Amino acid sequence: MLFILLLIAFAAIVAWIVYSAGPIFALKRFGGALLVLVLVTFGVSAMLSFTTGDESTKQALEELGVSRNAQPCVTALGTGASVENVNECVEDRGLDKNVFAQYADWAKQLVIDRDLGLAFYKNGETLSDTMKQRLPRTAWLFLYSQLTALFLAVPLGIWSAYQAGRGGRGLPKWALPAGVGILLLIGFFSGFRLTSLFAIVIAFAAVYSIFAGGRLADNNTNFLAFALLSIPVFVLGETLRYAFAIERDIYQLTGYQPWSEGIGEHLKSIWLPTLVLGLAATPVYLRLLRADMIQNLQQDFVSVAKAKGMSNSHILLRHVLRPSTVTLITVLGLNIAQLVNGAIVVEFIYDLDGMGSYLIAAFARREFFAVQTIVALVAALFILTNTLIDVLYTAVDPRVKADDER
């Protein structure tokens, strides 16, 4: 049902694009996307032909009476596998065939038979079952983290851009280091934990910036975003895990709870991973929105609106925010790749059994057939989203199309 709805929505968007930007343009873009998708999946398939190990392994396998290329099967089946099992697996996966035949087999199975194959060869679990179980976790994680990031980035970006051109309250500059120093001293002597001290410093800097306003506030926000951008996701994730799940008992590492267990339980089981992924995505959006807002605030229409006596908040939210969000939406699409990277790490850190941790397990067991399928699905999602956004962008802003012909 959902699939049909999505299909209808997709068809509607395509129809609108064909209507507004012309069929040749739409064909070119979607054709290009299809070509990229085929090349990506074929590249993955071709790289898999390197997996059969070096010459000595091949010879050892031949002496055992199995195919020379059986190495992925041996790893997937484990040490207890019999020769027949391995041979069956080699036959099943077409490991003896050449690259093109392997790719054709894989594509046929996926597209025509609608069969995703096995998730784990050893116990015969199908990938569609695995996805049914694990995909919701990753999907919710993605959704919540994006909402968190936007919830943090959009107001902060608007506020920061607004403050960039203002005078500020002229608070003394030494107040920040002095305040931080006093707070640190108090905290240190009353035996606060290191993570609490850190949180206090950040909170004080935030309050100071909000109160000070002006360029100083903009600079501080910008620097905070810059620092957040430079923290690797795994360092951020481990730090927050230490602060909330090990040092204190605020987040329980009890595993994912679905919606059916109640909203409270669901959110309680996922909020910290969400926060980590969201914080990792926030600075990207924040910096982009701020830069765009600053540029748009210097346009003539802002002066006109100001001269007409409109309020600042009206100008910011109605006149400047809308043209500034176009780039943000583009980057939202591009950020899918970043999200997948983050999900792999975050699910590993928090033992969340989603697609990311499945991927790690599948890699460890050399389940390349399933990995190939997932890589293809992720690439398809990425390419489709970005083509749609790209084309929509073009339909909204014709300058891009002219630019593309350069």
Partner 1 sequence: MTNVAQEIAVESQHAAEAQAASAPGAGKKRNVVFSLAVAWLVLVVVLVLLGWIFGESLPFLRDPDGINQDALNAGPSWKYPFGNASFGEDVFSQVVEGGRISLFVGFAVTAIGIGLGGGMGLIAGYYRGWVDSLVRLIINVTLSIPALLLVIFIVTIRNQELTTVIFALSLLAIPALARIVRASTLQVADREFVKAAEVLGVKRSKILLREVLPNVMPTLVSFAFLTTGIIIVVEGTLSFLGLSVEPPTLTWGKVIAEGRIKFADTPHMVAMPGLVIFLTVLSLNFVGDQLLKRFDIREASL
Residue of 291, 302, 361, 377 interacting with partner 1 (CB under 8 A): 291
Is there binding between residue 351 and partner 1 (CB under 8 A)?
Answer: no
Nearest residue (CB) to partner 1, 126 versus 330: 330
Q: Where are the alpha helices (DSSP H) in 242-367?
A: 263-297, 300-307, 312-314, 321-349, 355-364
Reference 236, options 198, 289, 290, 190; nearest CA is 198
Size of the site for partner 1 (CB under 8 A): 74
Residue of 17, 26, 33, 76 interacting with partner 1 (CB under 8 A): 33
Is there binding between residue 257 and partner 1 (CB under 8 A)?
Answer: no
Is there binding between residue 235 and partner 1 (CB under 8 A)?
Answer: yes
Cβ(322)–Cβ(305) under 8 Å?
Answer: no
Binding window for partner 1 (CB under 8 A); candidates: 10-18, 149-157, 283-291, 303-311: 283-291
Reference 256, options 152, 359, 144; nearest CA is 144
Residue of 35, 139, 178, 202 interacting with partner 1 (CB under 8 A): 35
Cβ(162)–Cβ(289) under 8 Å?
Answer: no
Q: Which residues contact 33 (CB under 8 A, 6 or more apart)?
A: 383, 384, 387
CA distance 399 to 403: 6
Is there binding between residue 378 and partner 1 (CB under 8 A)?
Answer: yes
Residue of 246, 250, 304, 317 interacting with partner 1 (CB under 8 A): 246
Is there binding between residue 134 and partner 1 (CB under 8 A)?
Answer: no
Reference 273, options 202, 199, 349; nearest CA is 349
Instruction: Write phi, then psi, for 298 (nearest 5 degrees).
Output: -90, 5
Residue of 4, 5, 24, 50 interacting with partner 1 (CB under 8 A): 50
Q: How far is the CB of 84 from partner 1 (least distance, A)?
A: 26
Q: Which residues contact 324 (CB under 8 A, 6 or more apart)?
A: 289, 292, 293, 296
Is there binding between residue 363 and partner 1 (CB under 8 A)?
Answer: yes
Reference 91, options 77, 79, 108, 73; nearest CA is 73
Q: Is 119 left (phi over 0), alpha (psi -120 to 50) or beta?
A: alpha
Is there binding between residue 315 and partner 1 (CB under 8 A)?
Answer: no
Q: Site mask, partner 1, residues 162-181, x = CB under 8 A?
A: --x-----------------
Residue list 180-209, contact with partner 1 (CB under 8 A): none
Nearest residue (CB) to partner 1, 109 versus 239: 239
Residue of 95, 340, 352, 370 interacting with partner 1 (CB under 8 A): 340
Nearest residue (CB) to partner 1, 8 versus 173: 173
Is there binding between residue 344 and partner 1 (CB under 8 A)?
Answer: yes
CA distance 206 to 119: 47
Determine the Cα angle at 29 with ends 20 and 373, to 5°. 130
Binding window for partner 1 (CB under 8 A); candidates: 62-70, 79-87, 128-136, 398-406: 398-406
Binding window for partner 1 (CB under 8 A); candidates: 18-26, 59-67, 263-271, 330-338: 330-338
CA distance 214 to 32: 47
